[in-house]
Amino acid sequence: MWKLSIDLGSSVTKIYRADTSSGVVLAEPSCVAIAGEDREVKAIGKEAKNLIGKTAEYTSIIYPVYEGEIVDMRLAAAMLKEFFSRIGIKASALRRAQVLMSVPCGAPERLLSQYANLAEECGLKKVFFVEQPYLAAVGAGAVLSDSDPVFCLDIGGGVTNVAVVSADGIIAGVSMNIGGNNMDANILARVAKTNGLRIGALTAERLKNEIGSLAPTARGTMVAEGSSVESSRPAAASVQAAELADCIRVYIDKVLEYAGAVLRKLPAEVAATVNRNGVYLSGGVMKLPYLPQYIGAKLEMRYHVCEEPQFATVLGGGTVIRDKSLLDAFAKENE
Ligand SMILES: Nc1ncnc2c1ncn2[C@@H]1O[C@H](COP(=O)(O)OP(=O)(O)OP(=O)(O)O)[C@@H](O)[C@H]1O
Ligand SMILES: [Mg+2]
């Protein structure tokens, strides 16, 4: 029987296979390209993302699950079904599969029933839902117990979650619509202003991911291509890592402000444990060089970050679905 953990991220959908040792079997952009008045699906995942900014007016790129909300059920189902077919699971196996899905922190009943509908639409029968911070904490290497609360911070493409969790529940937390997408948009605006170059969203993301860094001595440069703000003709410019750092840091500082507010509200014993154990960091943005160090220094605490922080949530899901006692403790089941 297949056992899957699924993380429907704002930017990237990840699927982990827990009944074999295959690990992460899919990581694809969570988007669909549609065309025409009847919104016909043209491409899904990588192929769809590649089209961003390059298509004619009648094609649009939709992220059907965004900031944890299912914004377009038909497209979300089309996307997830396609991803299932890409990992080679057949309809009959899907019906028998056990699946764990990450859901937003504090997801209300309305949202859970949307996720349940999506699962049903895709032919899944047995689905467990677990709130994201538990999974990120487990995936980032924390051990959850009643007595030892864990402080975790996940920065994804669309959402940042800050939470203090224990096996007993979420003690404190805040979820905000801040993430890598804001940084990309800020980079795009900055390059237009300082380099006189209009770039696309994909180029902005590439700049961040390839030379973005919070290291005090970051010196990388990258040639970006686009069109000249002045003449509108195709053009290129050399962008410095130090400029990108400013575009990134403003959002990190905002996140740290909220994290500080969460910490200030903790009961004294919980605060003491958090202070002793430090912060567990996850999410794709954590791959930025020196970001974990920056956060640790600002919060004045130890930090833990796993090797592939973008997979922490889906890996945590894999750990939970393999372990009956964790599943009983954290999961809500579809009926
Ligand atoms: N090497 C890298 N350096 C910096 N940022 C990166 C890197 N790789 C990926 N990212 C960014 O991480 C973000 C995606 O992270 P992640 O996969 O954790 O998000 P998600 O789970 O899809 O979204 P969310 O959790 O917000 O719903 C994107 O903004 C992406 O550009
Ligand atoms: Mg995520």
Q: Check which CATH number belongs to the domain holding 189 and give it.
A: 3.90.640.10
Q: Tell me: do 157 and 294 sit in the same domain.
A: yes
Residue located nearest, by CA, to atom 9 of ligand 1: 284
Q: Tell me: do 21 and 93 sit in the same domain.
A: yes
Q: Which of 202, 219, 246 is the last residue of a domain?
A: 246
- What pLDDT does 224 receive? 97
Region at 302 (left for phi over 0; alpha for psi -120 to 50; beta for the rest) = beta
Report the C-alpha gap between 13 and 63 in whole angstroms.
11
Q: Tell me: do 218 and 174 sit in the same domain.
A: no
**Contact 76/118 with Cβ under 8 angstroms?**
yes
pTM: 0.96
Q: Tell me: do 119 and 41 sit in the same domain.
A: yes
Helix-strand-coil split of the chain, %, nearest 5: 40, 30, 30
DSSP 290: T
- What pLDDT does 58 receive? 84
**Contact 172/259 with Cβ under 8 angstroms?**
no
In order along its 335 residues, the chain shows pLDDT tens digits of 999 999 999 999 999 999 999 999 999 999 999 998 899 999 999 999 999 888 777 889 999 999 889 999 999 999 999 999 999 999 999 999 999 999 999 889 999 999 999 999 999 999 999 999 999 999 999 998 878 899 999 999 999 999 999 988 899 999 999 999 999 999 999 999 999 999 999 999 999 999 999 998 888 999 999 999 999 999 999 999 999 999 999 999 999 999 999 999 999 999 999 999 999 999 999 999 999 999 999 999 999 999 999 999 999 999 999 999 999 988 888 76
DSSP 177-205: S-SHHHHHHHHHHHHHHHH-EE--HHHHH
* Domains in the chain, number: 3
Q: Are strands 234-240 and 160-166 parallel, antiparallel or unpaired?
A: unpaired
Residues of the domain holding 7: 3-135+313-333
Q: Tell me: do 123 and 75 sit in the same domain.
A: yes
Q: Tell me: do 207 and 217 sit in the same domain.
A: yes
Q: Which of 246, 275, 295 is the last residue of a domain?
A: 246
- What pLDDT does 335 receive? 61
Report the C-alpha gap between 317 and 90 in whole angstroms.
22
101, 99, 139, 86: which is closest to 2 by C-alpha? 99
Query: Which ligand 1 atom sits closest to the C-alpha of 159?
Result: 26
Q: Tell me: do 193 and 300 sit in the same domain.
A: no
Q: Which of 246, 266, 291 is the last residue of a domain?
A: 246
Q: Are strands 3-8 and 12-17 parallel, antiparallel or unpaired?
A: antiparallel
Whether the CB of 180 sits within 6 Å of ligand 1: yes
330, 332, 319: which is closest to 167 by C-alpha? 330
DSSP 49: H
CA of 235 to the centre of ligand 2 (A): 34
Task: Compute CA distances 29 → 8, 44, 52, 266, whole Å.
Answer: 10, 8, 11, 36
Whether the CB of 158 sits within 6 Å of ligand 1: yes
Q: Tell me: do 35 and 161 sit in the same domain.
A: no
196, with CB counted inside 10 A (0-12, 13-18, 19+), is middle
CA of 11 to the centre of ligand 2 (A): 8
Q: Tell me: do 25 and 114 sit in the same domain.
A: yes
Q: Tell me: do 159 and 266 sit in the same domain.
A: yes
Q: Check which CATH number belongs to the domain holding 152 and give it.
A: 3.30.420.40
Q: Tell me: do 297 and 287 sit in the same domain.
A: yes
Q: What is the dihedral of CA 322, 100, 305, 141, to 10 degrees?
A: -30
Residue located nearest, by CA, to atom 2 of ligand 1: 209
Report the C-alpha gap between 80 and 159 in whole angstroms.
20
Whether the CB of 203 sits within 6 Å of ligand 1: no
Query: Which ligand 1 atom sits closest to the C-alpha of 180?
Result: 29
Q: Tell me: do 279 and 328 sit in the same domain.
A: no
